Structure 1
C-alpha cells in the first residue's frame, strides 16, 4: 500500500524541502563569501608586497618623496633591518633614502609570498634577492638574499605593514662601505 500526503501535510513537506534547499544555498553562499574575502585579502597583501619592493628601487626617482611610506606602512610601524631599526611613520622615507643613497641604483626581486590571515591581521613572509650598484661603476656589485617577515593589518586605506623586517641570509661583493658584509 502506498501512502501519499495530502492537504496540509503535503504543503508542509514541500515547504520543508524548499527551506532545506534555501539553507544549503545560504550555507554555500556564506562559504563562497569567506573564500572570496580570503582571496581578495591575499591579493591585496601580495600587491602591498609588490608595491613595497618596487618602491625600494623607485621611491625617489623624481626627487625625495616623503609621502610613499603612507602607501605601505601604518602610523605605528616598527622596522627591523640589518642596518638599523626605526619606529613610527615619521622619518621612514629618510631611513630608506639613507640606505639607498649609498648606491647608484638597486634592483629588488621578491618571490614566495606567504600570507597567513587572521581576520584583520596577517603574518607575511617573502624571499628577496637584491643587486646594489656602487657609485663607482668599476667596483663589483653588492648582491644580497634573504627574507622579509612582518605583520600586515587592515586599515581604512587598505592593508599596511605594522611590523616589518629584513633577515639577511647571504651577501656577495663589497657592502655599502666597500667591505664584505658576511
Structure 2
C-alpha cells in the first residue's frame, strides 16, 4: 500500500512539530540557565520560563510559585558571579506536556576579584513542562546533587 500525498504531508507535519517542540524545550532550558547567570538582579524574566504555580526543588530547599522562585533568586545574589551549564537534554513529549532530564553544572564565585576562590555543584535535573498560550514553561524542576566542591557561603551544605 502506497502513501498518499496527504499521508506524507501529515507525517512530515508531525515530525516537524516534534522537532520544533524539542528545539523550543531545549531553548527554554538554555534560557533558564542563561537568566540565572545574567539576570540575577532582575526577576522580570521568571514568568517567561516558569508557570505561575511552578515548583523548584533543590537539596537545600523548595520554592513554590513565582514569588518563591524570586526568593531563590535572592539567595543566589550572595555570590557575585555564577556560571551554569545545562546539557544532554533527554526530552519526552506528549501533546502539550514534556518531561526533560538533563545534566547541570554550576560554578559560584563569591568575590569577582578572586575568581579562583569558587565552589561548584553538578548533578541531574528533571523538569515537567507545559505548553500554554505563551509557549513552553517549566512547571516543576527537581535538581539532584551528584557532587559538590568548595564551600557555599550562606547556603547549608547539601550533602
Give the TM-score taking structure 1 as reference length: 0.79
Give the structure 2 partner of residue 38 of structure 1: 18
Aligned partner (choices 111, 117, 120) of residue 96 of structure 2? 120
Q: Higher strand share goes to which structure?
A: 2
- Runs of 5+ consecutive residues of structure 1 not aligned to the other structure: 1-19
Higher relative contact order (CA 8 A, sep 6+): 2
Structure 1 vs Structure 2 CA RMSD: 2.2
Alignment of 1:58-137 (within 5 A): 58-60=38-40, 64-98=41-75, 100-135=76-111, 137=114
The Cα offsets for residues 103-145 of structure 1, whole Å up to 9 and x where unpaired, read as: 1211111210111001100011111111111238387310111
Instruction: Please say if 1:53 is aligned against 2:33.
Output: yes
Q: Max radius of gyration: which structure?
A: 1
Single out whichever of 79-88 and 133-142 deviates more from structure 2: 133-142
State the Cα distance separating 1:165 from its structure 2 match. 1.6
Give the Cα–Cα distance (whole angstroms) in 1 for the partners of residues 132 and 79 of structure 2.
Answer: 33
Single out whichever of 86-95 and 142-151 deviates more from structure 2: 86-95
The Cα offsets for residues 10-53 of structure 1, whole Å up to 9 and x where unpaired, read as: xxxxxxxxxx97x6111111110100000000000001001001
Single out whichever of 38-47 and 133-142 deviates more from structure 2: 133-142
Give the Cα–Cα distance (whole angstroms) in 2 for the partners of residues 163 and 42 of structure 1.
Answer: 18
Shift of the 143–77 alpha-carbon distance from structure 1 to 2, 3 Å rule, reads same
Give the TM-score taking structure 2 as reference length: 0.89
Give the structure 1 partner of residue 9 of structure 2: 29
Give the Cα–Cα distance (whole angstroms) in 1 for the partners of residues 35 and 28 of structure 2.
Answer: 10
Structure 1 runs of 4+ aligned residues shifted over 2 Å read: 135-140, 176-182
Count matched residues. Answer: 158
Shift of the 66–29 alpha-carbon distance from structure 1 to 2, 3 Å rule, reads same
